[in-house]
A and B are shown apart, each in its own frame.
With several copies, the nearest count.
Chain A
Amino acid sequence: MGKADIGPPNFREMIPEVVKKNYGDWKYHEILKPGVLRHVAESGDELYTVRAGSPRLVSVDFIRDICDVADKYCDGHLRFTSRYNIEFLTPDKEKVEPIIEAAKKLGLPVGGTGDGISNIVHTQGWVHCHSAATDSSPIVKALMDELYDYFISMKLPAKLRVSLACCINMCGAVHCSDLAIVGVHTKIPKIDHEKLGAICEIPTTIASCPTGAIRRHPDKEIKSVVVREDLCMYCGNCFTVCPAMPLADSEGDGIAIYAGGKVSNARKPPMFSRLIVPFLPNNPPRWPEVVEIIKKIVNVYAKNARRYERMGEWIERVGWETFFRLTEIPFTEQHIDDFTYARETWRTTTQFKW
C-alpha cells in the first residue's frame, strides 16, 4: 500500500536556482519576441523563458523529449503554464536560441505570449468522457493549425483566449473566454424504457430536470419516464443521474460558439462569454464549419478592435448589433436568453444602433 496524504512534491525542489535566489524579487519583464520573455530581478539577475506549445494529450516519450531539452539547457528544470504550454527557463541569454531550435526540432511552436492566441484550454471529448457532445483534441488541432500564425506572433489587438469544452459541464474556464467552443446536444434524451426502471431511481430522475420536462411514463405498466419535447433544453442533467437517458446523437450533437468573455480584471471586470453561434454540426476530423467561423471572427476582431481591447471590450463598445452585422452571423431566437436571469439581458433602453 502506498503512503497516504503525502501531497505533491514541494515546489522548492522544483524551481531552478535563479528562481530560488530571486524568489519574490522580480522587478520587470519584457517580451523579447513571441514566446520569449525576459524577467529582470532586483538583484540584476535575468531569467529567460521560452514558451512552447503542446498538444496537451501527450505520450510519456514526449515528456522525456522535453526533459532532454531541459537537461541540456535549463539545469534540468521546466514548467507548464495554466494553458498547457511548456516553459523552458534559463538565466543564460545564450541558451535562448538553442532552446528554440530544440523545441522546433521536436515540432513545438514557440510563442503564445502577449497579444496573440495562446494554447486552447480544452477537455477530454471522445477520447475519454462519457458526457461529450463533441470531441476536443481534434478540434483544437484543426483550429491551431489554422490559427498557428497567431500563436507564433503578437499582432492582435490584445490577448485572445480560446477555450473548448466538449459538453455544457464546461470543464475549464470556457464560460469566460474570448472565444468558447462548446459541445451541445439538441435532441432530447433517448430513453431506454427496458433498462430505466432497473438502473435508475425514477423520482430522482424526475427531480433532476431543471425545467420539469420529465414525467412518469403514462402507461403505468412501464416503469420508466417520458420527456416533454417542448420543455427539454438538452442540459443532460437527467443523463448524469440516469444512464438510461443518453442524449448523444450523430446528427443532434454539435457545437455552439460563445464570445466576449474574459477573466482578468484589467480595465473591464471579468465577463461571461455569450452565445454567438447556436449550432454547428460535428464534422470530423477537422470541423471545417467551426474553424471557418472562428477564423472569421478573429479577423473581424483584429480589423476593428482598438489596441489593448479584448474581444468582449470591443463588442461592448460597438454593441452586439454591430458585432452581428460585421461578422454576418445570423441572429436567431436562440441568442435571446430565456433562462432564469433572462430579463437582465433585455434591452431596456432606446439606445441601440441600426
Chain B
Amino acid sequence: MKEETPLVDELEKGPWPSYVKEIKRAAKKSKAAEDLLGVQELSFNDKVTHWKHGGIVGVTGYGGGVIGRYSDVPDKFPNVESFHTLRVNHPAGWFYNTKALRKICDVWEKHGSGLTNMHGSTGDIILLGTTTAHLQPCFNDLTEAGFDLGGSGSALRTPTACVGPARCEWTNINTLDMVQDLTMEFQDEIHRPRWPYKSKIKISGCPNDCVAAIARADLTIIGTWRDSLKIDQNGVKEYAKNGFDIKTLVVDKCPTNALEWDEKSKNLKLKPEDCVRCMHCINKMTKAIRPGDDKGATIMIGGKAPIVKGAMLSFVLVPFMKAEPPYTEIKELIRKIWDWWDENGRVRERVGELIERVGMRNFLKAVDLKPVPQMIKAPRTNPYVFF
C-alpha cells in the first residue's frame, strides 16, 4: 500500500539535491524503499525511530560486515521487517571506474533496496536495506564483481586514506598504496571480529588530515617530513606581486613564529628549528612553499568518539617513521599494539581508553617504545609518580 507522505514530500523542495527524491526513485523498483518512505513519515509524526536493536546476521565465514536491522512496525511495513545493511570496502581514495560502480548497482538492484550511502562515514559503500535471505547471494555477487565486505563489530574497520599522491601535491607518504596494503594484510582482522571492541586505521598524507584521522582513528598515520620545508623565493615574490598579504595571512598566523618577512626585499625566511609543520604557509602559498624532502609518517594512537569516557583525539606515538613498502615496521607496531590491547582491554574499551586506564608507562613498555617529549603537550603536574 502506498502511504501518503506529506511531511517527507516537503523535502523534495529546495536547491540541495533531495534524498527523498532518491528514495522515491528506488521505490519505483523496490517495495522496501517504498516502505522506507512510510517509515520516515511515521517517524516524522512520532518523532522517534522505528528500528529495533539489531540482531546477529551475516555471511558465511565472516563475523562482520553486515548490520542487522528490524522494524518495530513490521505489520505496517512488512517490506522492511528486516532491513539489513552491507558494508562494502571502497577502493583506496574512493576512486572508481564506472564499470565497477555499475556492477555494484546491478548487484544491489537485484538483492536490496537499491538505496546506498556513497559513502558511510567510516568510508564503506553502504548498501542500505535487504532481507536476511538475500545477504549471502548478495555477497557472492559482490565478490564476483570484485568487491568485499568492510568491517563491523569488534573488528578492524575499513581503513581509509586521503586522495594523497593521486592528486595532492602535499602528500608525504603513499597513502593509497599504504591503505591498500594494510587492508590486504589485515583481511582477517577486518572480517573475523575477536577483539574487545572496534579498531580503526586512517591515513592522511599530511597534517591537514583530510580524512579526519586524528579525531576518528585508533591508529592514525599522518605524513610529515623531518628536514626543513622548502621556500622558492621567486614564487614568494610572485604571491607578493599579486597582492597577497604574506605578512598578515601567513607570517602572523604561523603558530610558532617560525617565519620572518622582509617587506623590502620580499624575502620569506624560515627558522627551520621552529617550524612544527602545521602546513599553513604551504597551504596558502602552494606555488612557493613545499614540504621537505626527508619524508615519512607520524604515528598516532587513540582517537575515538565520546562513548563512554568522552571523545579522544589521537596522540603522538612515533614522531617519525620511514614509510616505504612493504611497511614492515608499521605493520609490526600495529600488531604489537593490537596484541597488547586484545590481551588487556575490557569489553567495549578502545585502545586509547586502555592506555589511559593502565598508563602510558605500561603501554610503551609493552610495545617497546621509548618515551619522548613529542608524545606529550607537557609533563605531568601532579606528584603521583610510579617508580
| B60, B98, B361, most chain A CB atoms within 10 A | B98
Q: Which residues of A contact B280 (CB under 8 A)?
A: 266-267, 308
For A20, give the chain B residue with the smallest CB separation. B166
Interface size on B, residues (CB 8 A): 167
Q: How far is the CB of A111 from chain B (nearest CB, A)?
A: 11
A334 touches B386 (CB 8 A): yes
A323 to B378, CA, bound (A): 10
Counting chain B CB atoms within 10 Å of each CB, the highest count among A4, A19, A308 belongs to: A4
State which residues 105-161 of B face A: CB under 8 Å.
105-106, 108-109, 114-119, 121-123, 128-129, 136, 139-144, 146-148, 160
Q: Is the CB of A170 within 8 A of B311?
A: yes
How distant is B146 from chain A, measured CB to nearest CB, in Å?
Answer: 5
B366 at interface (Cβ–Cβ under 8 A)?
A: no
Residue interface bits B58-76, CB-to-A below 8 A is 1, else 0? 0111100000010000000
How distant is the Cα of A157 from the Cα of B36 in the complex, in angstroms?
40
| B356 & A343 in contact (Cβ 8 Å cutoff) | yes
Q: Which residue of B lies closest to A138 (CB)?
A: B11
Q: Which of A5, A60, A341 contacts B114 (CB 8 A)?
A: A60
B253 at the interface (CB under 8 A from A): yes
Evaluate contact between A5 and B188: CB separation under 8 angstroms: yes
A328 interfacial contact with B, CB 8 Å: no
**Which of A217-225, A247-255, A295-303 lies at the binding interface?**
A247-255
Do residues A57 and B44 form an inter-chain contact, with CB atoms below 8 A?
A: no
Contact among A39, A67, A81 with B98 in the assembled complex (CB-CB below 8 Å): A67
Verify A59–B207 contact, CB threshold 8 A: no
For B54, what are the chain A residues with a Cβ–Cβ distance below 8 Å? 130
Q: Does A162 contact B (CB under 8 A)?
A: no
Which A1-44 residues sit within 8 Å CB-CB of chain B? 1-11, 13-15, 19, 23-24, 26-30, 39
Q: A182 on the interface (CB 8 Å rule)?
A: yes
Assess the A274–B316 pair: CB atoms within 8 A: no
Asked if B243 CB lies within 8 Å of chain A CBs, one says no
Give the contact stretch, choosing among B18-26, B262-270, B321-329, B331-339. Answer: B18-26
Q: What is the bound-complex CA distance between A250 and B114, given in angstroms?
A: 30
Instruction: Decide if A276 is an interface residue (CB 8 Å cutoff).
Output: yes
With both beta carbons as reference points, the residue of chain B lying nearest to A239 in the complex is identified as B53
Q: A59-B26, A286-B10 given as contacts; is B90 within 8 A of A8 (CB)?
A: yes
- Does A256 touch B at the CB level, under 8 Å? yes
| Complex Cα–Cα for A58 and B365 (A) | 48
Q: Contact at A171–B381, with CB atoms within 8 Å? A: no
Contacts of A10 in B (CB 8 A): 91-92, 180
Question: Does any Cβ of B come within 8 Å of A178's Cβ?
Answer: no
Q: Of A53, A141, A250, which is in contact with the most chain B CB atoms at under 10 Å from its CB?
A: A141
A144 to B254 alpha-carbon distance, docked (Å): 33
A168-B307 CB under 8 A given contacts A128-B129, A308-B249 = yes
Asked if A347 and B95 sit within 8 Å, CB to CB, the answer is no
Tell whether, in the assembled complex, residue A7 and residue B96 are in contact, meaning their CB atoms are under 8 Å apart. Answer: no
CB distance from B194 to the nearest CB of A (A): 15
The answer to whether B97 touches A171, judged by C-beta atoms less than 8 angstroms apart, is no
| Residues of B close to A121: CB separation below 8 A | 121
Among A131, A268, A278, A284: residue with most chain B CB under 10 A: A284
Question: What separation, in Å, do the CA atoms of A170 and B234 have in the docked complex?
Answer: 46
8 Å CB interface, A204-248 against B: 210, 230, 232-235, 237, 243, 248
Query: Hey, which chain A residues are within 8 Å of B166, CB to CB?
Result: 11, 15, 19, 23
Contacts of A77 in B (CB 8 A): 95-98
A276 to chain B, nearest CB (A): 7
- Are A248 and B49 in touch, CB under 8 angstroms? yes
Q: Which of A59, A235, A268 contacts B308 (CB 8 A)?
A: A235
Smallest CB separation, A237 vs chain B (Å): 6
Number of A-B residue pairs with CB-CB distance less than 8 Å in the complex they form: 518
**Pair B359/A62 contact, Cβ less than 8 Å:** no
Check if B306 sits within 8 Å of A80, measured CB to CB: no
Ordered by A's residue number, 18 sampled pairs between the chains whose C-beta atoms are within 8 Å are: A9-B100, A55-B17, A59-B23, A63-B105, A63-B118, A109-B16, A141-B19, A144-B16, A210-B308, A235-B307, A253-B48, A321-B372, A324-B373, A335-B380, A336-B371, A348-B315, A352-B374, A353-B374
Q: How far is the CB of A150 from chain B (nearest CB, A)?
A: 11
Q: Which of B26-58 contact A (CB under 8 A)?
A: 26, 33, 36, 39-40, 43-54
Additional A-B contact list (10), CB under 8 Å, known A8-B89, A82-B210, A348-B314: A61-B25, A129-B49, A130-B49, A144-B16, A175-B306, A233-B385, A263-B215, A270-B214, A308-B280, A320-B373
Q: Which of B69, B187, B319, B356 contacts A342 (CB 8 A)?
A: B356
Task: Specify the chain A residue showing the minimal Cβ separation from B159.
Answer: A8
Main secondary structure of the interface of A (DSSP, over half): loop
> Looking across the interface, which residue of chain B has its beta carbon closest to that of A241?
B348
In the bound complex, CA of A349 to CA of B253 (Å): 17
Q: Which residue of B39, B224, B254, B305 has the most chain A CB atoms within 10 A of its CB atom?
A: B305
Q: Which residues of B contact A169 (CB under 8 A)?
A: 305-307
CB pair B93 A79 closer than 8 Å? yes
Do residues A320 and B377 form an inter-chain contact, with CB atoms below 8 A?
yes
The distance in angstroms between the C-alpha atoms of A109 and B278, with both chains bound, is: 31
Q: For A84, what are the chain B residues with a Cβ–Cβ distance below 8 Å? A: 117-119
CB distance from B293 to the nearest CB of A (A): 13
- Docked pose: A100 CA to B352 CA in angstroms: 44
Residue on A nearest B158 in the bound complex, by CB: A8
In the bound complex, residues from chain A placing their C-beta under 8 Å from that of B256 are: 317, 319, 353
What CA separation (Å) do A324 and B105 show in the bound complex?
A: 48
B22 touches A57 (CB 8 A): yes
Say whether, besides A19-B166, A26-B167, A186-B387, A335 and B371 are in contact (CB < 8 Å): yes
- Contact A233 to B386, CB < 8 A, known contacts A285-B10, A320-B373, A333-B360: yes
Given contacts A10-B180, A19-B167, A58-B118, contact A235 B212 (CB under 8 A): no
Inter-chain contact A82/B162, CB cutoff 8 Å: yes
B112 to chain A, nearest CB (A): 9
Question: Is the Cβ of B176 less than 8 Å from the Cβ of A57?
Answer: no
B143 touches A267 (CB 8 A): no
